[in-house]
């Protein structure tokens, strides 16, 4: 049977054109893409192109966009063998991570891709990325949400955008590539997730529910307290030093964090380092976070921790269960 792949265009550089004010979305991009792929120069599976009603400049991405993208996929889930989501690179890793938790247990490939140079420009990387993504989306061995970019396939909730001006913009610091894309596509099946019987859950998100606080020399307790004062804040991602260390000599700051946890705010800790993860308590300054009740995020990326917390909070899970679920791998996002 010939595989059928859906291309969902959500926006991004891939479908933009140059203007006096910089790149902007190109009207009729879906039809142009259809024609380009059908001209015979790109060997791809049978496909259909669908565009979101309102295209997203990924710098303007909001949590409700994750719901919109997931619902577009699920509305066509039974009609296709795999899915490719065209997305802007700035927040692609956030969307890939969010989809991995909402579509947990997927039995079909969901591949996000895009480009560093628009399709209409010279030297665009669009066709190379898109052709590889479509071929991988037609492969039934892949049962997870991935990012295909710059000749590599990455687990969606393990990757981050690390480079602004290279075709290999994305990498996966704490998990090996799922596929190498060269003359041949080498899929490392032993690294892939397997499908499960989990039911998909696509929640409605409160964009104010989760905030990110990064430690830096001179951080002020009153500024953190102001961020946590809103009743809408229910989760915090701390960007800790090293293996999960905090400025514990600042008693006022530690008291602000402890008070937030006591009020029921779920607080988790990721490392500011690109590789490695959190071992909270390896140093006394990190042990303070343990005493406060901060949940270590192991080797999760910021994008994975942020979206995982959003999804769990939006799912209505009680605080104790949520803390347990956050600390355990749900979609291969951590060790």
Reference 146, options 201, 188, 116; nearest CA is 188
Residues 284, 285, 286, 287, CA torsion sign: positive
Structure tokens that stand for 112 in this block: 């996000």
Catalytic residue among 13, 89, 113, 301: 13
3-state SS class at 194 = coil
**What are the residues whose beta carbons fall under 8 Å from the beta carbon of 267, sequence distance 6 or more?**
235, 236, 238, 257, 260, 261, 292, 293, 294, 295
Structure tokens that stand for 168 in this block: 């290999």
Q: How far is CA 329 from the centre of its chain?
A: 15
Is 307 catalytic? The answer is no
Distance CA 172, CA 156 (A): 9
Residue 4, strand partner residues: 46
Q: How far is CA 47 from the centre of its chain?
A: 24
Q: Are 198 and 175 in contact (CB under 8 A)?
A: no
Distance CA 57, CA 89 (A): 10
> In three state form, how does the secondary structure of 121-150 look?
CCCCCHHHHHHHHHHHHCCCCCCCEEEECC
Residue 111, strand partner residues: 84, 146
Other CB atoms within 10 A of residue 222 CB: 10
Reference 300, options 210, 217, 240; nearest CA is 240
Reference 96, options 333, 273, 296; nearest CA is 333
Q: Which residues are catalytic?
A: 13
């Amino acid at each position: 049977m010939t595989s059928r792949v859906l291309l969902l265009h959500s926006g991004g550089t891939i479908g933009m054109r140059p203007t006096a004010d910089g790149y902007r979305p190109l009207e009729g991009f879906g039809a142009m893409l259809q024609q380009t792929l059908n001209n015979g120069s790109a060997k791809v599976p049978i496909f259909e192109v669908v565009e979101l009603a309102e295209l997203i400049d990924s710098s303007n991405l909001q949590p409700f966009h994750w719901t919109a993208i997931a619902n577009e996929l699920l509305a066509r889930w039974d009609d296709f063998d795999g899915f490719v989501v065209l997305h802007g690179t700035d927040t692609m890793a956030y969307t890939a991570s969010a989809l991995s938790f909402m579509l947990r247990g997927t039995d079909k490939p969901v591949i996000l891709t895009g480009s560093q140079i628009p399709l209409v420009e010279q030297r665009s990387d669009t066709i190379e990325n898109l052709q590889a993504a479509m071929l991988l989306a037609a492969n039934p061995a892949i049962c997870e949400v991935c990012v295909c970019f710059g000749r590599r396939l990455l687990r969606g909730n393990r990757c981050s955008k690390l480079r602004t001006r290279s075709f290999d913009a994305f990498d996966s610091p704490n998990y090996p590539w799922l596929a190498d894309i060269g003359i041949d596509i080498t899929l490392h099946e032993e690294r892939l997730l397997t499908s499960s019987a989990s039911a998909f859950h696509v929640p409605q998100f409160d964009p104010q529910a989760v905030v990110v606080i990064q430690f830096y020399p001179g951080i002020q307790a009153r500024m953190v307290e102001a961020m946590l004062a809103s009743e809408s804040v229910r989760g915090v991602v701390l960007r800790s030093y090293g293996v999960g260390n905090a400025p514990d000599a600042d008693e006022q700051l530690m008291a602000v964090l402890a008070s937030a946890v006591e009020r029921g705010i779920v607080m988790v800790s990721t490392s500011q380092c690109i590789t490695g993860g959190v071992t909270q308590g390896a140093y006394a300054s990190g042990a303070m976070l343990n005493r406060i009740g901060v949940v270590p995020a192991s080797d999760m990326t910021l994008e994975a921790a942020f979206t995982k917390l959003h999804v769990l909070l939006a799912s209505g899970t009680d605080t104790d269960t949520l803390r347990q679920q956050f600390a355990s791998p749900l979609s291969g996002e951590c060790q």
